């Protein structure tokens, strides 16, 4: 689950953004729509291919959160997994930040 868009910028309550990395394929929920992309490493830098997503209408705070997430996901330059966290560093319009994911508890 995405815990923060950047330091001091949490995900709105009730919005669930997820990520699953399987080899080089990245996919999950962007809050309302499903997204998918390929992760590419080139010249020592990481990038995410153009992100594809379904296009369902989304009510409430999910719409803004989804747009913010997808824009930042497309600007990822580095990834780091440690313990129960996945951190995706991005550079977007002169701004740097980190999408920080935490492992969601497994439900029975």
In the sheet with 2-6, reading across from the earlier edge strand, the strands are: 9-10, 2-6, 95-102, 85-92, 76-82
pLDDT digits (tens, 9 = 90+) for 44-62: 677 788 899 999 887 777 7
| The total number of residues written for the chain in this structure | 108
pLDDT digits (tens, 9 = 90+) for 4-59: 999 889 999 889 999 988 888 889 999 989 999 998 877 767 778 889 999 988 77
The span from the CA of 18 to the CA of 27, in Å, is: 8
Beta bridge partners of 15: none
Give the global pTM.
0.86
The span from the CA of 84 to the CA of 92, in Å, is: 26
The span from the CA of 40 to the CA of 31, in Å, is: 24
């Amino acid at each position: 689950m995405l815990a923060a868009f950047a330091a001091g910028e949490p995900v709105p309550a009730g919005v669930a953004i997820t990520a699953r990395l399987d080899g080089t394929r990245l996919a999950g929920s962007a809050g309302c729509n499903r997204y998918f992309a390929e992760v590419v490493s080139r010249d020592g830098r990481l990038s995410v291919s153009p992100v594809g997503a379904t296009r369902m209408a989304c009510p409430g705070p999910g719409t803004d959160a989804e747009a913010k997430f997808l824009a930042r996901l497309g600007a990822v330059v580095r990834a780091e997994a440690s313990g129960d966290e996945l951190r995706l560093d991005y550079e977007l319009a002169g701004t740097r930040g980190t999408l920080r994911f935490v492992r969601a508890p497994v439900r029975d």
